Homo-oligomer: A and B are copies of this chain.
Amino acid sequence: MFTQSEENYLKAIFHLQEEAEKGVSTSSLSEELSTKAASVTEMLKRLAEKNLVDYQKYYGVHLTAKGKKQALAIIRKHRLWESFLVERLNFNWDEVHEVAEQLEHIKSPKLVEELDKFLARPDYDPHGDPIPDADGNMPKAPKKRLSQIKEGEKAICKGFNDNSSSFLQFLAKHKIGLDTKLKVLQIESFDESMNILVNQKEVLLSKTATDNIYVEDLKTT
């Protein structure tokens, strides 16, 4: 069907498309995939040939319906495997990413369906990201960033936007994970860094960090 490389491009385009509504640029893909821009251009032409993207020279790409469907199928597999690794194989949620990156390319519709069933059809993966269903529908998470919480309020962690190992390990060090409860003690106005109470301890988080932590309000109490 599609090569692993093609699938990686589709996934990357999908993710980059979420933020900017514009076409996804060659350079952003180049960065995301750690591949030289020249190689990206080449691949975009190939993907356009296969009707997976709309590609306009010098103006980036958009996924077509076909490409989007494929991207969602890969993301579905990635997140199901991450769930499996954490929930059944004792992986920590900060060490599943690279393995899931390999597993997501396994081709077997039955495997995906049975895995989903085996895991009791989860809606979210261990990072709190929604898992698309077999038709590509995302369970919509009304996501709020920690950076949007006001001083004195409490919240509960529901996801993380940065899958880099260093960020995840930073979180682990402070015992911040899914469903961890936080209280915003104080916000520095000059850099928007936050003083947080978590596990009875104070932690200082930069704006970069709080932008990448998704939470739900915790009105109770």
Contact = CB atoms under 8 A, between A and B. Distances in A.
A110 B103 CA distance: 14
A118 interface: yes
Interface in A83-130: 85, 88-91, 95, 98-99, 102-103, 106-108, 110-111, 114-115, 118
A111 B99 contact: yes
Contacts of A106: 99, 102-103
A23 to B, nearest CB: 33
B88 A99 contact: no
Interface residues of A, number: 18
A115 B88 CA distance: 9
Contacts of A110: 91, 95, 99
Contact of A114 (B90, B102, B108, B111): B90
A107 B99 CA distance: 7
B89 A99 contact: no
B85 A111 contact: yes
Contacts of A95: 110
Interface of A: 85, 88-91, 95, 98-99, 102-103, 106-108, 110-111, 114-115, 118
5 contacts: A88-B118, A89-B111, A98-B108, A99-B106, A103-B106
Given A99-B106, A103-B103, 8 more contacts: A88-B118, A89-B111, A89-B115, A95-B110, A99-B111, A102-B107, A102-B108, A103-B106
